[in-house]
């Protein structure tokens, strides 16, 4: 007989990865579709392997990415900081740190393997898994080479992203230091609605003008919402009309 949903056993039940259809499980998706088809949260879940009593490994991975501000934040966090996160610990932290270091070494030895950005969708694919879960606005800059390959994605601002608080010069600092000819700015709306605000449009206009003076092409400004995004260039907001 099926147990009542209000029984103690039912109240303690927590969904696990095994409860998901096979087509939605990270390992099976990787096997069938390849690693490139998986989100960062799914890839991290495979590395972590198991979750906790209160959340499955996908939820744990998503929470860790949101807590530390994405893969870059996980890489910057100390061993102790990661160990202190609920559901991690020394073994899982070591696995995460080892995987991130392997990725860093691969990029340094095989630059041709770097992600290439050709469209706003490419930008969303790189950052959405982490940024649509953040409860504050985060602004990142994708630094690109002449082949539109992503060299780095530094986070340059956290808080209320608007044209009066964000210093435009800060957005170009790393691009100037690395000699990058182009960049893309991306930030999230914690509300989940990616519709650009007036401040988003004004900040974009300022960035484009500054980039023209510095000789750095601002290719786009992408706003990330909940499983959605908006390209200001595609909408003709803040960019000069062709």
Q: What is the pLDDT of residue 109?
A: 54
pTM: 0.57
Residue 178 CB-half CA count within 13 A = 21
The single residue listed with the structure tokens 């009066």 is: 164
Determine the CATH number of domain 114-231.
Answer: 3.40.140.10
| Position 177 pLDDT exceeds 80 | yes
Range 157-182 average pLDDT: 81
Closest CA to 162 of 187, 195, 191: 187
Among residues 129, 177, 127, the alpha carbon closest in space to that of 150 is found at 127
Q: What is the pLDDT of residue 193?
A: 94
Residue 178 in 3-state DSSP? helix
Closest residue by Cα to residue 40 from 6, 79, 69, 8: 69
Percentage above 90 pLDDT, the chain: 45
Measured in degrees and rounded to the nearest 5, phi and psi for residue 135 equal -95, 0
pLDDT digits (tens, 9 = 90+) for 82-129: 999 999 999 999 999 999 888 777 665 555 567 889 999 999 988 887
pLDDT tens digits, residue range 8-46? 444 444 556 666 666 678 888 888 888 877 888 889 999
Q: Is the predicted pLDDT of residue 181 greater than 50, yes or no?
A: yes
């Amino acid at each position: 007989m099926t147990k009542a949903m209000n029984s103690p056993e039912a109240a303690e039940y927590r969904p696990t990865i095994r409860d998901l259809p096979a087509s939605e499980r990270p390992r099976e998706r990787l096997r069938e579709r390849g690693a490139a088809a998986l989100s960062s949260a799914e890839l991290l879940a495979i590395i972590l392997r198991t979750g906790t009593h209160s959340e499955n490994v996908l939820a744990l991975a998503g929470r860790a990415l949101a807590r530390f501000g994405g893969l870059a934040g996980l890489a910057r966090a100390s061993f102790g900081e990661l160990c202190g996160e609920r559901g991690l610990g020394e073994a899982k932290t070591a696995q995460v740190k080892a995987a991130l270091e392997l990725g860093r070494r691969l990029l340094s030895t095989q630059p041709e393997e770097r992600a290439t950005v050709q469209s706003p969708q490419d930008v969303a694919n790189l950052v959405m898994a982490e940024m649509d879960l953040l409860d504050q606005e985060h602004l990142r800059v994708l630094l690109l080479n002449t082949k539109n390959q992503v060299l780095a994605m530094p986070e340059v601002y956290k808080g209320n992203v608007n044209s009066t608080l964000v210093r435009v010069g800060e957005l170009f600092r790393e691009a100037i230091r690395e000699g990058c000819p182009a960049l893309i700015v991306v930030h999230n709306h914690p509300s989940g609605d990616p519709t650009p605000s007036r401040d988003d449009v004004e900040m974009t206009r300022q960035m484009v003008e500054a980039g023209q003076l510095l000789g750095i092409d601002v290719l786009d400004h992408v706003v990330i919402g909940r499983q959605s995004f908006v390209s200001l260039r595609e909408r003709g907001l803040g960019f000069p009309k062709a």
